[in-house]
Amino acid sequence: AQKITQTQPGMFVQEKEAVTLDCTYDTSDPSYGLFWYKQPSSGEMIFLIYQGSYDQQNATEGRYSLNFQKARKSANLVISASQLGDSAMYFCAMREPISNFGNEKLTFGTGTRLTIIP
Partner 1 sequence: SAVISQKPSRDICQRGTSLTIQCQVDSQVTMMFWYRQQPGQSLTLIATANQGSEATYESGFVIDKFPISRPNLTFSTLTVSNMSPEDSSIYLCSAGTLGHTEAFFGQGTRLTVV
Sketch the per residue contact string, 15 through 54, with partner 1: x for CB under 8 A, - otherwise: ------------------x-x-x----xxxx-x--x-x--
Q: Does 78 bind partner 1 (CB under 8 A)?
A: no
| Three-state SS letters, 11-62 | EEEECCCCEEECCEECCCCCCCEEEEEEECCCCCCEEEEEEECCCCCCCEEC
Do residues 82 and 12 touch, judged by C-beta distance below 8 A? no
- Closest to partner 1 by CB, 67 vs 110, is 110
Report in angstroms how near the CB of residue 63 gets to partner 1 at its nearest: 18
- Closest to partner 1 by CB, 22 vs 104, is 104
Report in angstroms how near the CB of residue 59 gets to partner 1 at its nearest: 11
Per CB under 8 A, the segment of 10-18, 20-28, 71-79, 97-105 that binds partner 1 is 97-105
Cα separation, 38 vs 91, in Å, equals 6
- Residue 99: partners with Cβ closer than 8 Å, 6 or more residues away: none
- 53: number of CA atoms within 13 Å, CB side? 18
- Closest to partner 1 by CB, 62 vs 118, is 62
Binding site for partner 1 (CB under 8 A): 33, 35, 37, 42-45, 47, 50, 52, 91, 95, 98-111
